[in-house]
Amino acid sequence: MKKYLITGFSGFVSRHFLDLLYDKREDCEVLGVDVNPPSLDITKYSDRFPIEFKQVNLLEKEEFQKIVKDFLPDFVLHLAAFSSVSYSWQHPTECVLNNTNIFLNVAEAVRAINKPCRILSVGSSEEYGNVDKSMLPLKEDMELRPVSPYAAARVSQELLSRVYVDGYGMDIVLTRSFNHFGPYQDDRFVIPSFLKRIKAIADSKEETGVIETGDTTIVRDFVDVRDVVKAYHMLLWEGTPGEIYNICSGQGIALSKLIEIMADIVGVSVEGRVNPDFVRPDDNRVVIGSYEKINKHVGWSPAIPLEKTIRDMLSTKE
């Protein structure tokens, strides 16, 4: 029986990870921590595994350390993060604290219990930064050129992870997760935000409408959150310590194309209008990843097509 400690427990990725454990009927125990309480009733999982939530700010090092010491996890799925690039431009200090420093507190808490425990350190495709098109798809051994405070904070987390693996002999597996999306995602993020506004057009009974956007010529690699949590589970069980794994679809799509697809599915016609306020400094132009490595190491590949994810997002009620 394995004990999972999940940080960032109240986010949408955690929720999908719990669904995965539930569907697998895995013999396990779960403790979730987050600075905010979860929005869903977690007792819905408790017929299949013990599950508990503790409210804690990961910057409160001692308090978190005590929780880890009491629970003695086998796995730490470290999802907690301030993961918005635009927020990081507004609040760089908080971004570093809530990515790099909280990771350190997690690593230190696990180091202190002195028993085998694997940490999954979640990173981001943003770490690659602006790369020449000739370098696509992005592979894990490429040089990193982070261009936002968020990206720099994630690279720092990764550098520290490797120091913890090589210097302290800790068991940390790393990811660079590309844009993930799916049901229950907060609509501060790009796809739910577009979808909400496209649905509003449909609800208004108009056949056509305008939504304000940032630069929609940028290309991103979107991967379904349910594929992502499957990857996290496989890496917790079978990943190699100190190794970094891209988690991505391997496909790039321009935001403008994505809006078209979403509008088609919703059944309206949408015109995107660029608001310069939404255009971010130094945005990466094209992000497309390669999942060759994770496929080779643990057999993962993305399975859910983009259109299905969008349909599921439309049909999911909170």
* 98 near a copy of itself, rule: CB under 8 A: no
Q: Which of 96, 231, 235, 255 binds a copy of itself (CB under 8 A)?
A: 96
- C-alpha–C-alpha distance, residues 118 and 75, integer Å: 5
* 159 near a copy of itself, rule: CB under 8 A: yes
Q: Which is nearer to a copy of itself, 152 or 294 (CB)?
A: 152
* 102 near a copy of itself, rule: CB under 8 A: no
CB 309 within 8 A of CB 224: yes
Question: Smallest gap, in angstroms, from Cβ of residue 199 to a copy of itself?
Answer: 33
Q: Which of 35, 40, 67, 97 binds a copy of itself (CB under 8 A)?
A: 97
In angstroms, what CA-CA distances link 159 with 39, 95, 125?
33, 17, 15
Question: Smallest gap, in angstroms, from Cβ of residue 101 to a copy of itself?
Answer: 7
- C-alpha–C-alpha distance, residues 60 and 70, integer Å: 16
Range in contact with a copy of itself (rule: CB under 8 A) among 70-78, 156-164, 183-191, 253-261: 156-164
Q: Which is nearer to a copy of itself, 156 or 309 (CB)?
A: 156
* 167 near a copy of itself, rule: CB under 8 A: yes
Question: Smallest gap, in angstroms, from Cβ of residue 164 to a copy of itself?
Answer: 8
- C-alpha–C-alpha distance, residues 260 and 82, integer Å: 29
Q: Which of 61, 257, 293, 297 binds a copy of itself (CB under 8 A)?
A: 61
Give me the sign of the Cα torsion angle 110, 111, 114, 116. positive
CB 254 within 8 A of CB 317: no
Q: Which of 62, 143, 277, 318 binds a copy of itself (CB under 8 A)?
A: 143
Question: Smallest gap, in angstroms, from Cβ of residue 105 to a copy of itself?
Answer: 7
- C-alpha–C-alpha distance, residues 61 and 78, integer Å: 15
Q: Which of 70, 166, 186, 203 binds a copy of itself (CB under 8 A)?
A: 166
Q: Which of 108, 260, 264, 312 binds a copy of itself (CB under 8 A)?
A: 108
* 92 near a copy of itself, rule: CB under 8 A: yes
CB 265 within 8 A of CB 307: yes
Q: Residue 217 carries which side chain, given as an amino acid letter?
A: T
219-220 and 253-254: which strand pairing? antiparallel
- Single out the residue of 173, 148, 20 nearest to residue 84, CA to CA: 148
* 93 near a copy of itself, rule: CB under 8 A: yes
Range in contact with a copy of itself (rule: CB under 8 A) among 88-96, 118-126, 196-204, 290-298: 88-96
298: which 2 tokens? 């643990």
- C-alpha–C-alpha distance, residues 85 and 95, integer Å: 9
Q: Which of 10, 14, 98, 100 binds a copy of itself (CB under 8 A)?
A: 100
CB 192 within 8 A of CB 12: no
30: which 2 tokens? 């779960």
Residues that bind a copy of itself (CB under 8 A): 61, 89, 92-93, 96-97, 100-101, 104-105, 107-108, 143, 146-149, 151-153, 155-156, 159-160, 162-163, 166-168, 281-282
